[in-house]
Structure 1
Amino acid sequence: MVERKSTGSGPSAWDAALRLLGARARSRQEMQDRLVAREFPPDEIERTMTRLDEWKLLDDEEFAQQWVRSRSATSQRGRLALKRELRTKGIDDDVAAQALETIDAEAEREIAYSLAEKKLTFDADDLADPAVRAKAYRRLTGALGRRGYPPDVITSVVKDVIAARRDAVD
């Protein structure tokens, strides 16, 4: 038997939930929010959430693990940005912390280094000027900070990238 909205038209909350999960995994809170935004009746949302749980289609721990793996690799996000993103998805801080522990510190540093290298627009000659070096340092630390990298990674990476560019021989 197919459940329908109380208005009698349109897809059921269950159908909508399955479509949302077909696009990508969702956290419990994210699913709840999306169904509420679609204006399904509260009792239908509750039944749908219960059914999703029974079918084990919502798992915040697995969602957090997948989110961290995907976003750290493809979007070049640091652990602080990922923590913020997980919080907006309704993931508990303890669950988020467990997922973030899976990030390899060296891999995170390599991604940050690659990103900083791409963003550094000054050549070795320009970086000989202390004022230009300071400007480059500010720009790179800001870029990496906005991507959510921890301060110790930012400081280390930016110093190394600038030093490597200064040492580069054209």
Structure 2
Amino acid sequence: MPVPAGRGRGGGDRTGRPHRTTNTPQLPEDPEARARELCLRMLTSRPRTRAELHRTLLRRGIEAEVAERVLSRFDEVGLIDDATFAETWVRSRHTYQGLGRRALAAELRRRGVADSVVAEAVAEVDADAEEERARQLVRRRLPSVAGRDEVTRVRRLVGMLARKGYSEGLALRVVRDELRKAGEETELLDDC
């Protein structure tokens, strides 16, 4: 009985093709060369912060002082730049995922970006742009809460904005305004 592709015996993937054999070069023995190679491999997939690279190097057995030397050199030649990373990250995540300033700052801090760099990058998102993005998110979500009771509509819309890092005041104001524009009066938010 034939075995479906990707199941049972055989060395293939789900498509039935055999596994690729790659001639991935081994990492060098010299710790500094090994650290450089690891960093370059990580940076080819996407930009990374200095702290992300540092954590990975330590996890891979590179001594802290060797990691610092390599990362300092990468800094000097411009291969890692936390300010540029933060600026690009903020622009991308705000535009495509609709994250508010608070969520953007939290993500950058988790990635090890310094507070001063975080503040500068997040300041690029002005209040008007943040509010407009929140309005777009609410408008897009309105059809999915149509037909729900008033409390549920408000709770879901405000909750969605809160999870995306928008302040409570902004979330309440935007939801109230957008519900009114959609012709849905809400007494819950009259005090906002």
Q: Same fold (TM over 0.5)?
A: yes
Residues 112/5 of structure 1: CA separation in 2 closer, same or farther (3 Å cut): farther
Q: TM-score, normalised by structure 1?
A: 0.81
Aligned twin of 1:53: 75
Letter in structure 1 aligned against 2:153: A
Matched, 1:99 2:121: yes
- Equivalent residue for 1:71, pick from 78, 82, 93: 93
The answer to whether the 8 Å contact 1:6/1:41 transfers is no
| Identity, % of aligned positions | 36
Moved over 3 A (4+): 41-44
Q: TM-score, normalised by structure 2?
A: 0.73
Report the CA distance between 1:6 and its aligned residue: 5.3
- Equivalent residue for 1:156, pick from 164, 170, 173: 173
- Equivalent residue for 2:162, pick from 137, 140, 145: 145
The answer to whether the 8 Å contact 1:5/1:13 transfers is no
Of the two, which has the highest radius of gyration?
2
Report the CA distance between 1:150 and its aligned residue: 1.9
Structure 1: stretches of 5+ with no match in the other structure: none
Aligned twin of 2:145: 122
Matched, 1:108 2:130: yes
* Greater displacement, 13-22 / 113-122: 113-122
Q: Tell me how far apart the structure 2 counterparts of residues 162 and 42 of structure 1 sit (CA, whole Å).
A: 54
Report the CA distance between 1:100 and its aligned residue: 0.9
Q: Tell me how far apart the structure 2 counterparts of residues 24 and 35 of structure 1 sit (CA, whole Å).
A: 16
Q: Tell me how far apart the structure 1 counterparts of residues 29 and 152 of structure 2 sit (CA, whole Å).
A: 58
Report the CA distance between 1:23 and its aligned residue: 1.9
CA-based RMSD: 2.3
Letter in structure 1 aligned against 2:28: R
Higher helix share: 1
Residues 114/19 of structure 1: CA separation in 2 closer, same or farther (3 Å cut): same
Report the CA distance between 1:75 and its aligned residue: 1.5
Q: Tell me how far apart the structure 1 counterparts of residues 85 and 72 of structure 2 sit (CA, whole Å).
A: 18
